[in-house]
Amino acid sequence: MPVHLLDHPLAAHIMTHLRDVTTKPATFRTLAYQLSLLLAIDATRDLQTEEKRIDTPLESMTGRVLTHQPLVVVPILRAGLGMVQPFLDAFPDVSVGYLGLERDHATGVARNYYCKLPLLPGRRVFLVDPMLATGGSAVQALDVAKQHGATNLKLVCIVAAPEGVAEVEKHHPGTAIHTAAVDRTLNAKKYIVPGLGDFGDRLFGTGTLEN
């Protein structure tokens, strides 16, 4: 099953406030950070660890620490920027790449306008984009990451539509998708419903909210 649904009471609580139309950008950014941190933790639950011998103040013991393994987080601009800091805070050595994709509001088709990626071969790559709607942007992002040699890829999003999940599975079968919600469907303008509106606009305070 490629969809890993974040199932936690705190995640549900944060998600409800994130969706709320009265939530203003400053609070929205805080909530996006908190939810993305929970997602980052969930999406990295299969990281390798190794034994480490230590002394507590009372006795010696064998604990576990993360095995050195290069991680890369790639936000899909712009909205994905709201999900980067939690990865940096949890994994200080993570490398960051950037991929700029923007949906045409009439067609819903994404245009690639920027790409700056670190080395991807052999690294665990987390593509972060809060909204998986038609899946067009995610499929393009996965295409680009694979063209740059990525083989170990996960998609981390906040809200997914069933249509987007199906599109990713069709073009990149088996790709793990970590999300905090799978909503009902897309509306005529290809926005997720019930969704939370335009994530980038709400994150950066640029919205007209007429979707």
With CB atoms as reference, the residue minimizing the distance to ligand PRP is 200
Considering only the stretches 11-19, 38-46, 117-125, 134-142, report the one whose residues sit in contact with ligand PRP under the rule CB under 6 A: 134-142
Q: What are phi and psi of 84, to 5 degrees?
A: -80, -45
User: For this structure, is 103 an active site residue?
Assistant: yes
Dihedral of CA atoms 149, 138, 100, 150 in degrees, nearest 10, equals -10
Which residues are near ligand URA by CB under 6 A?
Answer: 79, 131, 133, 191-192, 195, 198-200
Considering only the stretches 26-34, 46-54, 130-138, 148-156, report the one whose residues sit in contact with ligand PRP under the rule CB under 6 A: 130-138
Q: Judged by CB, which is closer to ligand URA: 86, or 200? A: 200
Q: Judged by CB, which is closer to ligand URA: 33, or 191? A: 191
Please report how many Cα atoms fall inside a 13 Å half-sphere around the Cα of residue 59, on the Cβ side: 2
Q: Give the whole-angstrom CA distance, residue 118 versus residue 108.
A: 28
Residues 154 and 126: beta-carbon distance below 8 Å: yes
Residues 110 and 140: beta-carbon distance below 8 Å: yes
User: For this structure, is 198 an active site residue?
Assistant: yes
DSSP 194: S
Q: Judged by CB, which is closer to ligand URA: 11, or 158? A: 158
172 binds, among ligand URA, ligand PRP, none (CB under 5 to 8 A by kind): none
Annotated catalytic sites, by residue?
103, 107, 198, 201
